[in-house]
Structure 1
Amino acid sequence: MVYDLLLWVVLGVFIAAMGPDPVKDPAAFALVTVPRIVLGGLAVLVGRPYPLLALVLVLPLGPWRFTDGFATVDLSRLAPQRNVKIVPLLATSPFIVWYAYLTGRRLARVWPALLVFCLIGVVGVAVVLAQGGDLGLWVSMVTGVIGTYLVPYLFGLLRRRLLQQRLQARRSAEEQARLRERARIARDMHDSLGHDLALIAVRAAGLEMAPGLAPEQVGAAGELRIAAADATERLRQIIGLLREDADAAPLVPVNENLAELVRRAAASGMEVTLDLAPGPVPELAHAVVQEGLTNAAKHAPGALVEVVVAPERISVRNGPPRSRSTVRSGGMGLAGLRERVRLAGGVLSAGPVGDGFELTVTLPP
């Protein structure tokens, strides 16, 4: 409100400077200048929310006097006029330029501005015809409309489009960040919870086949194994909702070495062996072995699992299962692992081998 009040005061001073002297001719001042000041006040009042309406209100204060201008040209070769003003300037021109800029900056629709510009053109033509309609007046009027109204409006429109693009880019970056976070959560759930649930199912299967248990205890162990399998399936569905196909999986393994991973799997009841060849351990070894052990625990309960890790080859092979699997296939673990191997320049193969299943990853030297 304070800014608008100050703007109205400054606009009133400029309008008063354009009109009759209030001391020498107070009647003309009251008849001409005071209504213009009131009109300027109305324009300032509505200019912030409705700049196009303010532009219409200050239309009588537009560049319709052709005595001063931004530049002067000589049109004596085309017409008798010599000092023709280009882009006529008045004391109120900066305010009109500001509201034209705000119109382009804030008005989302274009057709209301086109209607107002048509009205401005009609007023300009009427002013030129009323003053004689010679070539110099036409040049002054056209350049005044372009410089005072059209160019600021286009600058405002350009500014609005740039801000919209910046906003869209920021929203797109935020959306990509959310998708990456969702994919990270899905990978963490798959790498940690999925593996742990599979090992719980293995422990339950081993307990179910242990000798010396009462029928009630065997039934409870079987129910525990089925419940763990169901929880694994629900986790797979949740991961499917969180994962985004366009998001590339990270190449950073979880903070656990291969020996600890295999030891934890063996402690859960899996029969697993580890053959670690001399040389550097591949960066993807942890992810490959964990995926292979998880799949073996889910789809081949009680099977013997052989893990072989070499600098250029990783293999996880399991034999035939000793009990029926209660987990459906079709998870995203192998799909995500395949993408990680592809990004590392390697090749992944997975399929039945004999009476078991083998997951093999070959890496470049």
Structure 2
Amino acid sequence: MAAVRLRWWRAGRPDSDGGSPDRRWVGDLLLWAAVSAPVAYAGVTPPYPRYAVPLLIGALSLLALAVTLGRRVPLTALVAVVLGSLLDGNFVFAIPVFSYLAGRRGTGTARAAAVFGGIAAGGSVLNLGLLGTEPATWFLLASVLLFAGVFPWLLGRHRRQQWALARAERRHAEAEERERRSAVDRIRLRERARIAQEMHDSLGHDLSLVALRAAALEVAPDLAPAHRAAAGELRASVAAVTERLREIIGVLRDERPGSLRPAGETVAELVDGARDAGLAVALRTAGDVDALPPLAAHTVHRLVREALTNAARYAPGAPVTVTVTRTGGEVAVGVVNGAPPAGPLPGPASPGTGLLALRERVRLAGGTLDAGPHQGGFAVTARLPLAADAADGPDTRPVPAAAPGRADAGPAAADGGAGLIGEPDGGLDPGRPGPASEDRPGEAERRLRDARRRVRRSLLTAFGAPTVLGLVLALVYYPLATAGAVLDRAGYERLQVGDRRDGLGLPRRQAAPPTADDPGGCEYYTDGNFPFAEPTWRLCFSDGRLVSKERIAR
């Protein structure tokens, strides 16, 4: 039921397509029935005009066309309804409906202004020029356009802005929640790294001293054989605990779950798996690389895996060479990929921290790592000591700073994206926020502010624009309608039947031309009633004398 309600709620959003086709069809049918009711009622009510049935069918068809066009081109549907009002005045009831829908369905402000301006200009030319409509009638029609057309469109636009604001608030809340989770993850990772460092620096050193003392006790000349065997067992146990501690520290330092290598997997098996996946990779080994100490073996495995993964991701199709060489008390590892045959991948460099994590892992194992562009491709090389694998503690030498375009910068910045870049999955650096995104809190906050500003602006426009336009119409029309045509009540009362017209001092022009049912010889003047300035007085003359005067009932 919740899923059904969600679909119906999403269907009503102004930025959706209106829901399922069945629901859109039902909604359009109901809309057509609602706007057709006034037209149909007038068409079936006597007296029936000539050609009543064809006119009714044409009017209903025009409304059906407007409803059909309303979803794709709502302004065109509005224009169709306005044109229909020239044939049937009952179309005026549909104008506010289609105006509201045009505003809610996201028509541009400039296009809507052009349409309303065109309707106003065309209507003015038609009524004042071709049909000779009275100014009061023109003013009434302009008011209808304003309050039945522009005002509903502004309300629909305001409603759409409210939906946009609600959507921005949801996105802002989601971004805040993501940022909160990200902050928790960063704190957790920093704490894990701090614990790992403390364990490595304190427990690792103490265990190394215990192992050293047990070894000294084991070789003491005056020790009984049983005690010597116990000292050897103690030294072996401390070495095993130290190795286990290093594995735990590696897990604590790892930023991604499941990053430990599969049990028993060798570098050769890792390379075979990559080759089976389609990577053109070759393995070259020298020395006994299958019998490395556990810490060194895990570090080598991690380095080769990361390099192969990123070479496959950022240099697809490029040949890769993996070299593992054991000489004396150290092991050298190298992973070199050539330039991708299709050229560098487009797009920005990854902001991942895989090389930084690898550098730190190699440093904790007592070795050094170097990574950077190499002959159009990318190369990762490392050297790890073997003799001090279990007891010497971390290498306290400072980590050399990466040159521009090398490990920390990512090869894509220096070599057009032809080699290794960061974590395969965009690893998280616990010391800094994640990559930029349009949904990050700062961007979501800006979108929310913009949405709120648009809602306030649309609300002010929805109520302010009709008021301003109404005042402009009144201030433009009223002076034109009343200029030289006002006869106040006092002047009207002074008029006496039988007085000659030339001596009455009447205004220089009439308020409106004579009507069709005018008996003839009558003139019309207004008392200045606002805003329509309709004719108020009717004065009738015969042979140049006033024969009657009366107030026109409204």
TM-score of the two chains, using structure 1 as the length reference:
0.50
TM-score of the two chains, using structure 2 as the length reference:
0.34
